[in-house]
């Protein structure tokens, strides 16, 4: 099969971890007889520096003409004081929108070898296997109007949360379809005691659930879901939620299973899927060669599964990651005191070795 990919390394630790994910993809392609065609393009701060645009036209064209996009991370403190449209993050948001990627899948799995990395007691976190389904193109991130107006001292900032029935229904279907292949439980997270958007959300999700009689649907307010996520993470299966709640809960889920560095994501539903680790650009450790590449590597597995239906190849990467962890390889984020630490590239090399086995 031809695997025609656009690679967007981006900012901070993005290039380091993406490099390892690409090496793993090359190993899988070689092992299974696929043809890997890669195009590297700029996004985020890297693109702002190169061409003053966080998502240059040739980047978006390359993405649209490929079958999937592997992204590292965007974000850099150098652009903190820039207006919104000239921040690295604006490039990522525009990419999601231009590609129509409305469904963000963020699995949070507790690898048996890493039970003791969680700040929670191992018996609480053992067996945790959550799939967060985050709506990615609506809500506060994209709602209009948005502005900061007025004179210094009395300025007013506005953001708008909007959700239409169709946008809720299509993301709900993604969650229910995924639940059918898992433990058949969907928890819909909202703030229906306060927000109109959430009341409509709950109504539409409940209606949609009638088409999935074998799936058990429950609802929770986001504040209470945040508490339960640390009290009993094992009880969660598919978590369906709107854009910003999903942003927050997915980082929290990363903390629960031990490290954000392990979390992968898929942004799908549109013309081309985008796959990226959840961790972000982590400027504090960029360039040191210590970042955990497993989130990026596991994102490459999601890419093979969701954009190419290459289930065996995706499993192969995930098994190689488990094996590598079982053998004791730890980057600094998941190493316990006294445990030896491996570099970004060494971690990648070990996964590649596992793939070749
Ligand atoms: C994420 C990130 C992004 C988001 C930022 C970088 C725009 O935090 O993917 O979780 O908020 O969606
Ligand atoms: Mg986030």
> What are the tens digits of pLDDT across the range 66-125?
999 999 999 999 999 999 999 999 999 999 999 999 999 999 999 999 998 899 999 999
Catalytic site residues? 141, 191, 223, 247, 251
| pLDDT at 184 > cutoff 90 | yes
Give the residue from 190, 98, 83, 177 showing the smallest Cα distance to 137. 98
pLDDT given at position 61: 98
Percentage above 70 pLDDT, the chain? 100
Show the tokens assigned to 355.
């793939």
52-71 per-position pLDDT tens digit: 999 999 999 999 999 999 99
Q: Which atom of ligand 1 is nearest to the CA of 276?
A: 9
**277 Cβ inside 6 Å of ligand 1:** no
Q: What rounded mean pLDDT belongs to the chain?
A: 97
Q: How far apart are CA 288 and CA 284, in angstroms?
A: 9
Pocket test residue of 280, 281, 283, 302 for ligand 1, highest count of atoms within 8 A of CB: 280
| pLDDT at 259 > cutoff 90 | no
In contact, 327 and 289? CB cutoff 8 Å = no
Q: Nearest C-alpha to atom 10 of ligand 1 is from which residue? A: 247
Its pTM stands at: 0.96
Q: Which atom of ligand 1 is nearest to the CA of 75?
A: 6
204-222 per-position pLDDT tens digit: 999 999 999 999 999 999 9
Residue 60 alpha carbon to ligand 1 centre in Å = 18
Q: Nearest C-alpha to atom 6 of ligand 1 is from which residue? A: 89
Give the residue from 248, 273, 261, 342 showing the smallest Cα distance to 297. 261
In contact, 327 and 113? CB cutoff 8 Å = no
CA distances from 353 to 24, 60, 218, 323, 334 (A): 9, 34, 42, 10, 20
In contact, 95 and 274? CB cutoff 8 Å = yes
pLDDT given at position 111: 94
Segments in 44-158 forming alpha helices (H): 44-51, 57-64, 88-99, 122-125
Pocket test residue of 247, 263, 277 for ligand 1, highest count of atoms within 8 A of CB: 247
Q: Nearest C-alpha to atom 4 of ligand 1 is from which residue? A: 247
Closest ligand to C-alpha of residue 244 is 1
3-56 per-position pLDDT tens digit: 999 999 999 999 999 999 999 999 999 999 999 999 999 999 999 999 999 999
pLDDT given at position 83: 92
Any idea which residue has 């990419």 for tokens?
A: 95
Coil/strand/helix, residue 68: strand
| pLDDT at 317 > cutoff 90 | yes
Q: Nearest C-alpha to atom 9 of ligand 1 is from which residue? A: 278
Give the residue from 159, 247, 155 showing the smallest Cα distance to 197. 159
- Could you tell me whether strands 238-241 and 2-10 are parallel, antiparallel, or unpaired per DSSP bridges? unpaired
Of 2-6, 12-16, 256-260, 295-299, the one with minimum mean pLDDT is 256-260
Q: Hey, which residues does 38 pair with through a beta bridge?
A: 5
pLDDT given at position 286: 97
CA angle 142-145-148, nearest 5°?
105
Mean pLDDT value of segment 248-267:
94
Distant-in-sequence, close-in-space partners of 40: CB < 8 Å, separation ≥ 6:
6, 7, 8, 9
Mean pLDDT value of segment 216-233:
98
pLDDT given at position 121: 95
Residue 247 alpha carbon to ligand 1 centre in Å = 6
**247 Cβ inside 6 Å of ligand 1:** yes
């Amino acid at each position: 099969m031809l695997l025609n990919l656009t690679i967007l390394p981006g900012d901070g630790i993005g290039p380091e971890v993406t490099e390892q994910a690409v090496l793993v993809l090359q190993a899988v392609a070689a092992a299974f007889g696929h043809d890997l065609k890669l195009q590297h393009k700029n996004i985020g701060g890297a693109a702002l520096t190169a061409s003053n645009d966080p998502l240059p036209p040739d980047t978006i064209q390359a993405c649209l003409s490929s079958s999937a996009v592997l992204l590292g991370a965007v974000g850099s403190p150098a652009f903190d004081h820039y207006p919104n449209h000239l921040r690295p993050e604006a490039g990522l948001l525009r990419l999601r929108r231009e590609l129509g990627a409305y469904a963000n899948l963020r699995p949070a799995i507790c690898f048996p070898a890493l039970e003791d990395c969680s700040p929670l007691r191992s018996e609480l976190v053992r067996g945790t296997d959550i799939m967060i389904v985050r709506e990615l193109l609506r809500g506060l991130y994209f709602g209009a109007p948005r502005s900061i107006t007025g004179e210094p001292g009395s300025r007013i900032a506005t953001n708008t949360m909007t959700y239409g029935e169709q946008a809720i229904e299509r993301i709900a279907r993604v969650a229910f379809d995924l639940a059918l292949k898992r433990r058949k439980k969907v928890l819909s997270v909202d703030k229906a005691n306060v927000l109109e958007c959430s009341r409509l959300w709950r109504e539409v999700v409940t209606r949609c659930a009638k088409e999935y009689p074998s799936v058990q649907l429950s609802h929770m307010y986001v504040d209470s879901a945040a508490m339960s996520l640390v009290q009993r993470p094992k009880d969660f299966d598919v978590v369906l939620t709107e854009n910003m709640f999903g942003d927050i809960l997915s980082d929290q889920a990363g903390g629960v299973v031990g490290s954000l560095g392990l979390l992968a994501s898929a942004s799908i539903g549109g013309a081309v899927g985008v796959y990226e680790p959840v961790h972000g650009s982590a400027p504090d450790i960029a360039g040191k060669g210590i970042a955990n590449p497993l989130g990026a590597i596991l994102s490459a597995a999601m890419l093979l599964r969701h954009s190419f239906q290459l289930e065996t190849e995706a499993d192969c990467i995930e098994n190689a990651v488990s094996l590598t962890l079982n053998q004791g390889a730890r980057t600094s984020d998941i190493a316990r005191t006294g445990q030896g630490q491996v570099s970004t590239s060494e971690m990648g090399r070990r996964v590649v070795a596992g793939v070749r086995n």
